[in-house]
A = this chain, B = another copy of it.
Amino acid sequence: MSSTLTARQQQVLDCIRESQSETGMAPTRAEIAERMGFQSKNAASDHLRALERKGYIKLHGDRSRGIQLLNSAFWGSEDELPVVGKVAAGSPIEAVENLERTVPVPQGLFRQRPTYLLRVQGDSMIDAGIFDGDLIAVRKSQTARSGEIVVARIDDEVTVKTLKLNRNNATLLPANEAYEPIRVPADELIIEGIFVGLIRDTTAH
């Protein structure tokens, strides 16, 4: 689809993004040249052509500032994400019977695009600011790094905890003094996804 960019092309693309968010308009060739330190406007033109050829921008010919960012993290199309409610024991998270509804979550609301939303049950993570009833944005993943907040499955129960990895052991750490850490042999741990964000609607409950 869109090929990889060279370091310089990436810098030019970033330069356009910055310009866009600062002034609300795309830069001219001259402005790109100035910001990038080029002596010639044509250096900018060359880069723009390369970026268009690789599918990152669209150039509107003959129009000043006619640079349109494509696939931009800022305004992608709105996407409905499923809300996973109570997960029945033994059923995969994605199972239809677990789905509550869908919620529109635009591209770019979270830096990491979540795969689904999960409604939190219980207060085991209140010290991490995750409350009963909150929707957490989860990116599906089978692996996670130590320190990340994960959605994991223990004894067919889906739970949200902070993951700590030692040598052969994994510890699922609650963020609430009333709960005990859970130790699991590393090979028995099933990661469902990684916590990337949170949505709370105060008027909901």
Assuming A23-B68, A129-B126, A198-B198, is B203 touching A112 (CB within 8 A)?
yes
**Roughly how many angstroms separate A79 CA and B195 CA in the complex, as a whole number?**
25
Query: A-side interface residues toward B, CB under 8 Å?
Result: 21, 23-26, 28, 58, 60, 63-69, 75, 78-79, 101, 103-112, 126, 129-131, 134, 149, 195-204
Interface centre among A58, A203, A204 (most CB of B within 10 A): A203
Contacts of A66 in B (CB 8 A): 23, 25
**Are A204 and B78 in contact, with the CB atoms below 8 A?**
no
Assuming A104-B75, A129-B129, A129-B131, is B110 touching A201 (CB within 8 A)?
yes
Interface centre among A68, A202, A204 (most CB of B within 10 A): A202
**Roughly how many angstroms separate A103 CA and B78 CA in the complex, as a whole number?**
12
Contacts of A109 in B (CB 8 A): 103-105, 199, 201
